[in-house]
Structure 1
Amino acid sequence: MSATIFARQDDRLGQFALRRVDPDTDAELLHRWLTHPKSVFWLMQNAQLTDVQEEFRAITASPTHEALLGLHNGRPAFLVERYDPATEPAGAAYDVRPGDVGMHFLVAPTDTPLHGFTRAVITTVMELLFADPATRRVVVEPDVRNRSVHALNAAVGFRVERTVSLPGKDAYLSTCTREQYAPAAAAAPATTRSE
């Protein structure tokens, strides 16, 4: 199993940590998450287990894309992808700047949601991304129909730049600089982080 590459302690919800996805040992879990009806915006509803393995093997082999498994108090609970927007379809839809980092995240479907959990997850993701001094701006491109993620993105400082057409969706291209994120970080529950 991969080592933890980032962790933060949320005073209310406990520890959030990230490790690299192992395409073979994590594929069954990720397949359940990605084919769940709540994960429709990941466009993998009909994926087979082998499709998920191949997708994450390709990401693992890529020098510009990384998949991370998020743990909550030691248990798998979310998925994160960070990538270089210049190498993805989103990069053709806007002027990529030095220091731009693309991000996708998925909270595992659950029948017992915790109040504030998704906000804690996106805070963990943003802290991870901005822990790299080279990151100046985070770029996301969620489906225009994904209202819940738009509200969450806005809560941590993202601003919609414009609507763009990408493979399989129309998306709100949105960005968040360190300066935009700072007020959201200050308002979040007290945390400590480690790498």
Structure 2
Amino acid sequence: MSSPASMSLASLAPGKFVISPDSLDKETQNTGAQSFVLEMDSKSSTGQALGQRHWQLDYERTGDQLTVTRWLGRTNDIRSSYQVLDQLIASLGIEELTLSNEVLSEGAQAIDPRHWQASDKGLTIQRDAFYQIRETFLADALLTITPDIRTEREGVEHPVPVRPQLPEGVLYRRQIPQLNVVFELYHATVEHDGERFHKWQNDPRVAEFWEYPFSREKLDEYLHNCRNDAHSAPLIACFDGVPFGYIETYWGQEDRLGPYYDARPFDHGFHLLVGEPDFLGGGRAEYWLKAVSHFLFLLDPRTDRLVGEPRSDNKNLLKWTEKVGWRKDKEFDFPHKRAALMICDKAHFIKHFE
């Protein structure tokens, strides 16, 4: 069962980019004038075909710096422009991007100058700055930052920030160039996701680590409670619209993890499982773990680190989290398991995000 069309947001630009193979020619892309060519069969939020769109970005490259000298093909909003640039930056592995004055004067793209640094050549942005632009990847309903108002929470030593409830539907969307798939996170519901959540939790492979092989009724109640607790949020992860995994986010300070480390008010973490066996392996884990981490850093810019507490013997998960920028801080004992405290620092993560 795919995610319903009603859960897609038009503002997240439904559709999938296709990159011209010539744009990725390793023999020529590092020197001289080159072209990066994209096309997309775009769709409306209801799945209606809107026709094929094309873009061509001519550029000159010196090492890790790239200057766009011509932009063919119009983008009508900032999100669409930045999604095109995301494909360029990630596919070509550049650290600094400049839009030339000639490109800016033609006005084929929409950008926000506040995100860029002005120079004689045009507007420039660093890679780590680009991947902190929330408007590119998050649903519009998430762009407002909740004021830092603290409140008491039972069982937590210090007051914690008031946590906003997540909206319905797709929350994060990014086409991952390395996999040529669109990754999405949407807010899980009992009505739409209860059956799959029950199936996944009763898979022996999943139950070995989650230990939730419960009835449908009990797991529906679990999902319902998770949705209604501002401390946590249940999400479904999709590749090209097909649900494959469950992500449960939590705020570290008021989580059961909080007493076991020096928790900060905006530490965010998540539990995860891959429910569909067809999506195991294939080099996917590295990229969807990066995407989930990226989502949590964007969700609230005051989050400067992520935390996790997988079982210390879950070697596969530990291997992948360390590969994508997490580090093991220590091991400790929960009442129910020996755990590894995993930490991901924002500055390090964003610098290496691709």
Fold conserved between structures, TM > 0.5 = yes
1:184 and 1:42 map into 2 onto residues whose CA distance is 30
Conservation of the 8 A alpha-carbon contact between 2:231 and 2:255 = no
2:309 and 2:221 map into 1 onto residues whose CA distance is 23
1:183 and 1:140 map into 2 onto residues whose CA distance is 20
Pairing 1:151–2:319 present: yes
Q: Root-mean-square deviation (CA), in Å?
A: 1.6
TM-score (norm 2): 0.50
1:110 and 1:144 map into 2 onto residues whose CA distance is 23
Pairing 1:54–2:235 present: no
Write the mapping of 1:20-35 to structure 2, written as runs, cut at 5 A: 20-35=187-202
Offset of residue 148 of structure 1: 0.2
TM-score (norm 1): 0.88
Q: Which amino acid aligns with 1:151?
A: K
Offset of residue 182 of structure 1: 3.1
Alignment deviations for residues 88-141 of structure 1 (CA, whole Å, 9 cap, x no partner): 211111110132112112122314645111112101101101113121110000
Identify the match of residue 230 of structure 2 among 63, 69, 81.
63
Q: Classify the secondary structure of the residue corresponding to 2:247.
A: strand
Q: Classify the secondary structure of the residue corresponding to 2:236.
A: strand
Pairing 1:117–2:284 present: yes
Identify the match of residue 344 of structure 2 among 149, 170, 176.
176
Structure label with greater radius of gyration: 2
Conservation of the 8 A alpha-carbon contact between 1:155 and 1:184 = no
Offset of residue 180 of structure 1: 2.7
Q: Classify the secondary structure of the residue corresponding to 2:214.
A: coil
Identify the match of residue 82 of structure 1 among 222, 237, 249.
249
Per the alignment, residue 183 of structure 2 pairs with: 16
Pairing 1:140–2:296 present: no
Identify the match of residue 162 of structure 1 among 319, 326, 330.
330
Structure 2 CA distance for partners of 1:41 and 1:13, relative to 1, 3 Å: farther
Alignment deviations for residues 133-154 of structure 1 (CA, whole Å, 9 cap, x no partner): 1211100000011000000110
2:289 and 2:184 map into 1 onto residues whose CA distance is 12
1:25 and 1:112 map into 2 onto residues whose CA distance is 20
Q: Classify the secondary structure of the residue corresponding to 1:26.
A: helix
1:114 and 1:150 map into 2 onto residues whose CA distance is 15
Offset of residue 4 of structure 1: 0.8
Conservation of the 8 A alpha-carbon contact between 2:274 and 2:280 = no
Percent identical: 26
Per the alignment, residue 72 of structure 2 pairs with: none
1:112 and 1:99 map into 2 onto residues whose CA distance is 31
2:215 and 2:242 map into 1 onto residues whose CA distance is 24
Conservation of the 8 A alpha-carbon contact between 1:38 and 1:109 = no
Structure 2 CA distance for partners of 1:128 and 1:25, relative to 1, 3 Å: same
Alignment deviations for residues 48-88 of structure 1 (CA, whole Å, 9 cap, x no partner): 11111111111011011111111110111111111111222
1:134 and 1:79 map into 2 onto residues whose CA distance is 25
Conservation of the 8 A alpha-carbon contact between 1:107 and 1:118 = no
Alignment deviations for residues 148-187 of structure 1 (CA, whole Å, 9 cap, x no partner): 00001101111111112224211001101112313541xx
Per the alignment, residue 295 of structure 2 pairs with: 128
1:180 and 1:169 map into 2 onto residues whose CA distance is 29
Conservation of the 8 A alpha-carbon contact between 2:331 and 2:341 = yes
